[in-house]
């Protein structure tokens, strides 16, 4: 029996889909990802539907606004925050409607504290990342906001086991001290691994539900993610250079959301579940783990979000991921 909160041979999406029709997007998710559906995200709808704005709208006692095309901390809630809240409410209404009677794991997504700190501006200018006190306040606010968000989704879909994905594309650059200042002539302070893990763990422990940390960037900091006590890591398999840290993470019991399906198809090609499954199986075999453990510990996903892909390809890709998961479960 698997100890992971998903069924063996599961597949899911990363979060974003193309277009601006949330009803259609959510139908596609439930139709093509029956074992592990997720709350669809449609960033093409503009500010408030983007990853940073959507998550910033969940912060508690830290209002935000758009200024000069960027999200920044504001003195009080205004129209930008209302728009963000309205978009999310509409999305949750569609989730509630289409998940009627659903029982099983259900994934929701939000930006993690370090990506948020590297992206949100202070009222006086510069990123929150420059101020350790502001980062702590942001992390606490995010933890409480996501705790409430998880509770709201549980109330709307009572049969679901809610999984929270924290999107942390900026985490490697934060750790390396490569986040540029506004001028571009300097960079913000480097955050060490233990401090980064502490920030993530603050959120992980607050939300009371399994957390997946997603990082579709090179140099995924697997040790930081493990130290944060996340249930799983999600990554783009094509960016993985060194298998040893991955093997150590698997051995330690970390779940793996393996981005094995390309978000862009080679010209004229359709996604093939056999090829996707083979990519996953090849990595697993190279690491030397028992075949029976693969479908329990690994969830098949696209390499990253799908907001820029044609809708027909999205349907075919998600269906291929689901079929690849089933292939892997046929041990």
Whether residue 322 lies inside any domain: the answer is yes
Whether residue 2 lies inside any domain: the answer is no
Whether residue 13 lies inside any domain: the answer is no
Per-residue pLDDT at 124: 87
Q: What are phi and psi of 55, to 5 degrees?
A: -75, -40
Contacts of 229-232 with CB under 8 Å at 24 or more apart are 229/201, 229/204, 229/205, 230/166, 230/200, 230/204, 230/254, 231/4, 231/5, 231/163, 231/255, 232/4, 232/256, 232/257, 232/299
Q: Count of domains in the chain?
A: 1
**Global confidence as pTM:** 0.96
Residue found under tokens 């003195």: 75
Q: b/e per residue, 33-57, with b = 16+ CB within 10 A?
A: bebbbbbbbbbebebbbbbbbbbbb
Instruction: Output the CA–CA distances (angstroms, integers) from residue 293 to 7, 133, 218, 251, 256, in the order listed.
Output: 12, 43, 26, 11, 12
Per-residue pLDDT at 194: 98
Whether residue 245 lies inside any domain: the answer is yes
Per-residue pLDDT at 1: 40
Per-residue pLDDT at 264: 82
Whether residue 7 lies inside any domain: the answer is no
Whether residue 5 lies inside any domain: the answer is no
Instruction: Please give the average pLDDT of every successive group of 10 residues along the chain, which has 331 residues.
Output: 87 96 97 98 96 97 93 93 97 95 96 98 92 96 98 97 98 96 87 98 98 94 98 96 95 97 79 95 96 97 94 95 97 66
Asked if 23 and 45 touch (Cβ cutoff 8 Å), the reply is no
- Distance (Å, whole) CA 321 – CA 324: 5
Domain that holds residue 189: 22-329
Asked if 5 and 30 touch (Cβ cutoff 8 Å), the reply is no
CATH number at residue 267: 3.20.20.210
Whether residue 318 lies inside any domain: the answer is yes
Whether residue 4 lies inside any domain: the answer is no
């Amino acid at each position: 029996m698997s100890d992971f909160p998903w069924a063996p041979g599961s597949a899911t999406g990363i979060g974003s889909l193309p277009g601006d029709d949330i009803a259609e997007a959510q139908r596609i998710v439930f139709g093509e990802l029956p074992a592990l559906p997720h709350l669809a995200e449609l960033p093409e709808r503009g500010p408030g539907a983007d990853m940073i704005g959507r998550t910033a709208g969940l912060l508690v006692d830290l209002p935000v606004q758009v200024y000069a095309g960027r999200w920044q901390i504001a003195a009080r809630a205004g129209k930008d925050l209302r728009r963000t809240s309205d978009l999310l409410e509409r999305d949750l209404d569609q989730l509630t409607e289409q998940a009627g009677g659903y029982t099983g794991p259900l994934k929701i997504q939000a930006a993690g504290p370090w990506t948020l700190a590297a992206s949100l501006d202070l009222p006086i200018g510069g990123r929150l990342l420059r101020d350790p006190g502001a980062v702590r306040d942001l992390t606490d606010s995010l933890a409480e906001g996501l705790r409430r968000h998880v509770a709201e989704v549980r109330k709307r879909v009572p049969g679901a086991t809610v999984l929270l994905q924290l999107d942390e594309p900026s985490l490697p650059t934060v750790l390396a001290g490569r986040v540029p200042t506004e001028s571009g002539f300097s960079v913000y302070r480097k955050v060490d691994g233990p401090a980064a893990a502490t920030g993530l763990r603050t959120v992980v422990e607050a939300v009371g539900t399994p957390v997946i940390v997603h990082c579709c960037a090179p140099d995924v900091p697997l040790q930081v993610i493990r130290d944060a006590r996340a249930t799983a890591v999600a990554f783009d398999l094509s960016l993985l250079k060194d298998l040893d840290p991955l093997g150590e993470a698997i051995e330690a019991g970390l779940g793996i959301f393996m981005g094995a399906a390309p978000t862009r198809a080679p010209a004229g090609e359709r996604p093939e579940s056999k090829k996707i499954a083979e990519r996953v199986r090849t990595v697993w075999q190279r690491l030397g783990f028992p075949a029976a453990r693969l479908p329990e510990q690994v969830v098949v996903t696209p390499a990253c979000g799908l907001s820029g892909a044609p809708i027909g390809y999205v349907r075919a890709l998600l269906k291929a991921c689901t079929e690849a998961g089933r292939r892997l479960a046929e041990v």
